Amino acid sequence: MPVEPKDEVKFQRLGISSIRALAIMAPVAYEDRQLYDHVLNGVAQLLDITVEAVSTTPRLLKVRAYAHNLSFTVTLLFFSPKPYMMRQFCVDERYYVYGKVDFHGGCAQVSHPQKVSGIGKIIPKYKSVLRHDVMQRLVEKYVSRSNLGDEGLPSQIIDHLLNIHFPKNARKELHADERYALKFTELHEYMDALRHKRKTVASQFTCHSDWNAWSRGLPFQLTQDQIRSIEAIAGDLKSQYAARRMIVGDVGSGKTMVMLASVMIARPYRAVLMAPTTILAQQLFEEAQKFLPDLHVALVTHKSNKNIALLEYDFIIGTHALLYRELPETALIMVDEQHRFGTAQRHLLEKLVTKGDKHPHFLQFSATPIPRTQAMISAAHIDVSLITQTPFKKNIATSILHKKDVPALLEHIHNELAQKHQVLLVYPLVEQSDVSAYQSIDEARHFWEARFENVYVTYGKDKQKEAVLLEFREAGNILIATTVVEVGISLPRLSTVVIVGAERLGLSTLHQLRGRVSRTGLQGYCYLFTYHDASERLKKFCHTADGFEIAALDLKYRKSGDLLVGKQQSGQAFKWVDMGEDEQVVKAVAEALRL
């Protein structure tokens, strides 16, 4: 049944919009309103009483009564009673009261019992913005088998939900199968809402070109994960509906080759790729020229000649400068490091090449691995491909450093520089701060510049950072930076990264920084410098190289964000679901929703 207009305001006050959401607002406690012929130890119970005498003082209301179910007399005590309490009990009248029986000097006493009805029931107690009786009536009205069935929940889940709200036996806590039902229902509500946000629009072009001939001409073999992702994209691009797919790959997993394969699938139609930085766009342009020699490829940045006619090109690669150009008709749009662009920017790029009601195919790429649970949930809204394999095994030794280890670190750096390798030092802050125990870049740079040659410095707000990174790639020994280097330039000679104040960063960020080294098979080193003596989180990071495992660990320590509303970047978006532990529940919900 739909929520009646008179109850909609109550749902709004609870912050919910569906009966499923009401059903997962489980009671925080239960009152056992059954009559027992003995005193329950340490808990409140129902008493069937007849009042024998009432006495009052300004600070005390005392009611002597015979408890029929216990077969002895009890004294009800009300301290600092309100005026209405004085009229609650009349001699020789029979009432039901609920309270805890205590014995003092052999006399049975009950302090501040509650006068009740609803005898013989287990009464759920809710914690909400609504008054208890209002909340209870709302649940009784809407949380029913037919209503929950109408919202698509399986009958077994409904059974457990009804038992939570309308228990037949006394209880103190939820059972395991009931907790499962709450998790299932919460995910069912969430993923169903995501599913309804998914847009199905007609595609401008259906693309049928074969990418296999191109891949056979590559000087290396693609991984199975790359092939699976490409085949999924090929299926998407053949559709009369515009593709919406996110491809998530670990650092160094070969997402670029998936992009180039997608360009080949889209042939003879045009493809556009937007990257977050000029350096990254330049690198992708160079890769495209190398592996797509027969295509006419353009690079569009803020420095590009705006008079060049893009209509002549098969593949257009650029930064956000693309958003200020007139773009020609396009079959495929790709966005690299999609989280670096705002939703409005991604939509604007799509709008620039959309003709009427028909849209281009749209692929988003990310080098930030996500937990499998999150990927499965996201699949309700957008198709997801995970690239977990890497073309070659990286050999990066990760260890924790303390202040006493600095001399050994300096010796290691000298040895690496002697082999023409490069070193990256990541500091948490650019300028000195009273709130940080660690040195800033401004404080630390003189130490390094005094001991080594060709030391370069950059940070997020440095207007010259791209030029500094390019110069460092060719001529530098040591680069001092903030996490600006987390995503971006490829540094083939980089063998060592030292992350200062590592405990301040999320594990996924640490993994991204570690991924800057050993890009071409060098022996790599990642040092986590910290003043903390022991960190379980950092120790686990040292022994985990898989980005998707790192993402699951990060989720465990930092909790999940909010995929649906998009306001919550960390902190728990779910009340019952644990994104790091409940993969099987997510699978069950996906099957129930037929995703």
Q: What is the pLDDT of residue 3?
A: 86
Q: In angstroms, what CA-CA distances link 74 with 40, 65, 118, 147, 419?
A: 14, 6, 22, 45, 89
Write out the chain's pLDDT in tens, 595 residues: 788 888 999 999 999 989 999 999 999 989 899 999 999 988 899 999 999 999 998 899 999 999 999 999 999 999 999 888 888 999 999 999 999 999 988 899 999 999 988 788 888 999 999 998 899 999 999 999 999 999 999 999 999 999 999 998 878 789 999 999 999 999 999 999 888 887 788 898 999 899 999 999 999 999 999 999 999 999 999 999 999 899 998 877 889 999 999 999 999 999 999 998 888 899 899 999 999 999 999 999 988 877 788 899 999 999 989 988 888 989 999 999 866 677 777 778 877 777 778 899 999 998 877 777 888 888 788 888 989 887 777 789 999 999 999 999 999 999 999 999 999 999 988 877 766 788 888 888 999 999 999 999 988 777 787 888 889 989 999 999 988 665 556 788 999 999 999 998 888 889 988 988 887 778 999 999 998 887 888 999 999 888 888 888 887 776 544 444 443 333 346 889 887 788 899 999 989 988 6
Assigned token pair, 241: 């509906």
- List the end-to-end C-alpha distance of the chain, in Å, as a whole number: 25
User: β-pairing, 114-115 with 271-274?
Assistant: unpaired
Name residue, tokens 């395991």. 176
| The token pair that represents 585 in the structure block | 């529940």
Would you give the DSSP letter of residue 363?
A: E
On whether the CB atoms of residues 177 and 567 are closer than 8 A, the answer is no
Residue-level pLDDT at 486: 54
User: What sign for the dihedral angle of Cα 397, 401, 405, 407?
Assistant: positive
Residues contacting residue 317 through CB under 8 Å, at least 6 positions apart: 272, 273, 275, 281, 284, 285, 288, 297, 298, 299, 300
Architecture of the CATH domain 34-115: Beta Barrel (2.40)
Domains in the chain: boundaries: 5-31+121-174, 34-115, 175-393+581-595, 395-544
Q: Are 318 and 300 spatial neighbours (Cβ–Cβ below 8 Å)? A: yes
Overall CATH class of domain 395-544: alpha beta
The encoded tokens of residue 452 equal 């080594």
Could you write out the DSSP letters of every residue in 497-563? EEEETGGGS-HHHHHHHHTTS-TTS-EEEEEEE-S-S--HHHHHHHT---HHHHHHHHHHHH----T
Distance, in Å, from the CA atom of 440 to the CA atom of 446, rounded to the nearest integer, reads 11
Tokens matching residue 43: 């808990």
Superfamily of domain 175-393+581-595: P-loop containing nucleotide triphosphate hydrolases (3.40.50.300)
Q: Note whether 34-115 and 395-544 share their fold.
A: no
